Amino acid sequence: MKPLWIVTYLAAAIGLYHQPLWTIEEIPFVPTPIEVVDRMLELAEVKTGDIVYDLGSGDGRIVIRAAKKYGARGVGVEMDRELVELSRKKAAEEGVSHLVEFRLEDALKVDVTPATIITLYMLPWFNAKLRPILQQQLKPGARVVAHDYGIEGWTPTRVEKLPEIEKRPGGALHQHTLYLWRIE
């Protein structure tokens, strides 16, 4: 084999080896069932003084629930304008508008330094991009709870498979998995 071929072959092999296991695709709105939200909040041990950031907050259910059940403050970050409006309306109906806010923003660009708890129901590529931001911005004692998808390269403090198996449209069965990390 000629030297250039060897270099090209090695570069291709290394490139393939370093390919991430995920692909970037749009993340749709799929709400976390409310019983699963409750378990996420329990795992994170939400208390009154906490500030919960849900990145990709959908209809706002996680931060609204944390405010309603525990009196925690919350920030929902969501890219879909209609979902942000719906979240604000739901927060008002639940009487927690003074505790929560919803921002129409890219969740990968938001400053999460005030957060004591981060909740996620996002795809692996998003979680992987978020990891260095969390590493840089979260303070010791903060908790991260993710639904169904872990964070590549980050070993969770705890993984919990929920006992209830959900039947999805089309008959597919789904077992929810929750991941917890504690920042040290």
Ligand X SMILES: C[S@@+](CC[C@H](N)C(=O)[O-])C[C@H]1O[C@@H](n2cnc3c(N)ncnc32)[C@H](O)[C@@H]1O
Residue 54 in contact with ligand X, rule: CB under 6 A: yes
Comparing C-alpha atoms, which of 155, 172, 147 is closest to residue 54? 147
Nearer to ligand X, 32 or 127 (CB): 32
Options 76-84, 87-95, 130-138, 170-178: segment touching ligand X (CB under 6 A) = 76-84
The site for ligand X, by CB under 6 A, has a size of 21
Measured CA to CA, the distance from residue 183 to residue 141 in angstroms comes to: 5
Considering the rule CB under 6 A, would residue 58 count as an interface residue with ligand X?
yes
Output the smallest distance, CB 132 to ligand X, in A: 15
N- to C-terminal Cα separation, the chain: 50
Beta-carbon neighbour count of residue 47 at 10 Å? 12
What is the CA 55 to chain-centroid distance, rounded?
A: 6
43 contacts 160 by C-beta, under 8 angstroms: yes
Q: Judged by CB under 6 A, which stretch of 10-18, 25-33, 92-100, 131-139 contacts ligand X? A: 25-33
Residue 160 binds ligand X (CB under 6 A): no
Residue among 80, 94, 101, 152 that touches ligand X (CB under 6 A): 80
Q: With left for phi above 0 and alpha for psi between -120 and 50, is residue 153 left, alpha or beta?
A: left
Report the interface residues with ligand X, using CB under 6 A: 27, 29-32, 54, 56-58, 61-62, 77-80, 83, 106-108, 121-122
